[in-house]
Structure 1
């Protein structure tokens, strides 16, 4: 039943393409990667410093000392949607580094019931088929140190591929620019401009399949949908600092300001910019075990009685690192504290340099 509902929603999404050029797309790229970062509510723009920086801030790739590999898996919406991520990165020299990553967010084995009833009006279950819908992102990253001490910058080039069975598919291209600065007293600052040039997705509609489904709503959607989506630029600004206690204990405190240049339901919302803050903490013991917590996704929700309610999303996580292998876990969600469908996220990171020492 849930997958039938998803199929209906997907068809509605396809039909909605025909109304206007949509300003919001590629939302799967806002979920996040790496259980360590998710456990801190994604407040890592300033201090990200490993292979996962290709997602969070490409400038952080410059902190890698050797080749690194990272993989992650998560299930959302009661295991209906699967989210997978893999990344590889390595330094080029002592002033530059590169990385590559891939993300897949998909729902598989969805029932296609558009042909359930034959031309004679009979129900024939043999006419049901299965299909998948999936979003892919392929990212190529480059980072370099600036001549000014403490300043790094990075660039992402993204290729977006989105597929809805054999009904429709799209390609898109976008770019991100990031920068980091570390002061002499260990304060870290980071800035990421996502989709800085605006990301365009161009859809191709299978006209033969569209003919079969366009009458799902009688008298509506008789024209072929428009085929362009845009993803508007966003900005993320972060600050963090690491404190060391008695040599063995550490605490990282970090905050992010996630900005959209439009009016939304974010905690701070104006016609010019809307800001959703996030706060994260990581407590570490001898760089071996980690405990993380964070809160973010603050939204002003309008209730049925027109009153306003503030919702937020708490996250927690743990991690272990030993001889170049790091395993992290996060308990997180796509929604807020009132939703019950929390997800278990696991990630693995391997630093190949530890095996060469």
Structure 2
């Protein structure tokens, strides 16, 4: 069984490497790397091996097969001092005892941005009535399918996702891509592999030339230039291992570790010319499947110091709590405790409901 997991991992790496073109930009559709579910945030997102609910459509669709009933989930978070909002809703249901489907929507946006391109009229007069508002937003629509493999303990899942990006009336883009994942459970050990954008995710931009032309004092190539009409998101690979331990009759401990890999050179603490990686560690202590305490640390980066004084390692600690009662689960996470990285403080809230609540 372990050999099957190794072969599947090798196949996903091969796909990712084959489609990772050297000339492609390192970062695209980065809003899809933020994550979902406050429970996962509390564990530094080290949940590739253990996710097994409606949120598995994001973390590893193979986990959807563990659903026992229909589930819905929602999350809200603010970023950059409440300038940007991140919202997520998802639903999933078992088809039969061996398979399940899910659907999710993500929106990451900044609203009510002042458009001052027409502040000064043709005569050079400032007219504040000419100021308007616009929004920039990124959307992701994902359809997931999961199924148990004939081998005991194995399951696989796939995602098909559509990307929609909008920058006011100036530009918009459509994109599409695929993810694939696998999970394996043996006694109290859990293993998972998630490959994102396995065929690369392709975005095509459309620009409104008439709107761009209204921007005054713009000189093409100096203070304004039209971006590339297409973007390609490079594949990413996440490998996770976890173990569940019964501490006492009432307390359980789940410990997990992830290795998140990009097929590009980045500031991750493990970095080469073609592959970069950063680890993440998380734990969850549960009391009678009712109350949860979580913690974790991840996002290890080599951070450049001001004044050219070399680099230092930055990381992102996380803390979370959760409460579950009769199919209703409420979770909270606080990220970047102590400001150990360049990321800002974030308070994340999420809600998950089993459909049995409505019966």
TM > 0.5 fold call? yes
Structure 1 residues 236 and 201: alpha-carbon distance in aligned structure 2, compared to 1, 3 A threshold: same
Q: Deviation per CA, 1:125-163, whole angstroms, max 9, x where unpaired?
A: 000000000000000000000000000000000000000
Could you tell me which of 278, 281, 290 is aligned with 1:279? 281
SS across alignment from 1:236: strand
Could you tell me which of 34, 38, 46 is aligned with 1:35? 38
Shift of 1:214: 7.3
The question of 1:113 aligning with 2:116 is answered yes
Report how many aligned residue pairs link the two structures. Answer: 336
Could you tell me which of 173, 181, 202 is aligned with 1:178? 181
Q: Deviation per CA, 1:220-241, whole angstroms, max 9, x where unpaired?
A: 3676443001100000000001
Q: Deviation per CA, 1:166-224, whole angstroms, max 9, x where unpaired?
A: 000000000000000001x3210000000000001000000101112274357636764
Please, what TM-score do these two structures have when normalized by structure 2? 0.90
The question of 1:197 aligning with 2:199 is answered yes
The answer (yes or no) to whether the contact 1:214–1:221 under 8 Å persists in 2 is no
Could you tell me which of 289, 293, 296 is aligned with 2:295? 293
Matches of 1:334 and 1:245, distance apart in 2: 27
Could you tell me which of 44, 63, 77 is aligned with 1:60? 63
Matches of 1:146 and 1:215, distance apart in 2: 61
Shift of 1:308: 1.7
Structure 1 residues 223 and 30: alpha-carbon distance in aligned structure 2, compared to 1, 3 A threshold: closer
Gaps of 5+ in 1: 1-19
Partner of 2:263: 261
Matches within 5 A, 1:1-357: 22-183=25-186, 185-213=187-215, 215-217=217-219, 220=222, 224-303=226-305, 304-333=307-336, 337-339=340-342, 341-353=344-356, 356=359
Q: Deviation per CA, 1:79-116, whole angstroms, max 9, x where unpaired?
A: 11000000000000011000000000000000000000
Gaps of 5+ in 2: 1-22
The answer (yes or no) to whether the contact 2:279–2:299 under 8 Å persists in 1 is yes
The answer (yes or no) to whether the contact 1:169–1:204 under 8 Å persists in 2 is yes
Structure 1 residues 296 and 72: alpha-carbon distance in aligned structure 2, compared to 1, 3 A threshold: same
Q: Deviation per CA, 1:221-268, whole angstroms, max 9, x where unpaired?
A: 676443001100000000001111222001100010000111111111
Partner of 1:4: none
Which has the larger displacement, 240-249 or 87-96?
A: 240-249
SS across alignment from 1:126: helix
The answer (yes or no) to whether the contact 1:35–1:72 under 8 Å persists in 2 is yes
The answer (yes or no) to whether the contact 1:324–1:355 under 8 Å persists in 2 is no
The answer (yes or no) to whether the contact 2:174–2:205 under 8 Å persists in 1 is yes
Matches of 2:339 and 2:261, distance apart in 1: 19
The answer (yes or no) to whether the contact 2:316–2:343 under 8 Å persists in 1 is no
Q: Deviation per CA, 1:32-62, whole angstroms, max 9, x where unpaired?
A: 0000000000000000000000000000000
Matches of 2:137 and 2:353, distance apart in 1: 27
Shift of 1:23: 4.2
Matches of 2:336 and 2:163, distance apart in 1: 24
Matches of 2:133 and 2:172, distance apart in 1: 17
Matches of 2:66 and 2:161, distance apart in 1: 22
SS across alignment from 1:188: strand
The answer (yes or no) to whether the contact 1:266–1:274 under 8 Å persists in 2 is yes
The answer (yes or no) to whether the contact 2:267–2:303 under 8 Å persists in 1 is yes
Q: Deviation per CA, 1:273-322, whole angstroms, max 9, x where unpaired?
A: 11110000101100100000000000011223342200000010000000
Structure 1 residues 299 and 223: alpha-carbon distance in aligned structure 2, compared to 1, 3 A threshold: closer
Structure 1 residues 172 and 129: alpha-carbon distance in aligned structure 2, compared to 1, 3 A threshold: same
Partner of 1:7: none
Matches of 2:108 and 2:216, distance apart in 1: 26
Shift of 1:340: 7.7
Matches of 1:21 and 1:224, distance apart in 2: 18
SS across alignment from 1:220: coil
Please, what TM-score do these two structures have when normalized by structure 1? 0.90
Shift of 1:332: 1.5
Shift of 1:339: 4.7
The answer (yes or no) to whether the contact 1:278–1:297 under 8 Å persists in 2 is yes
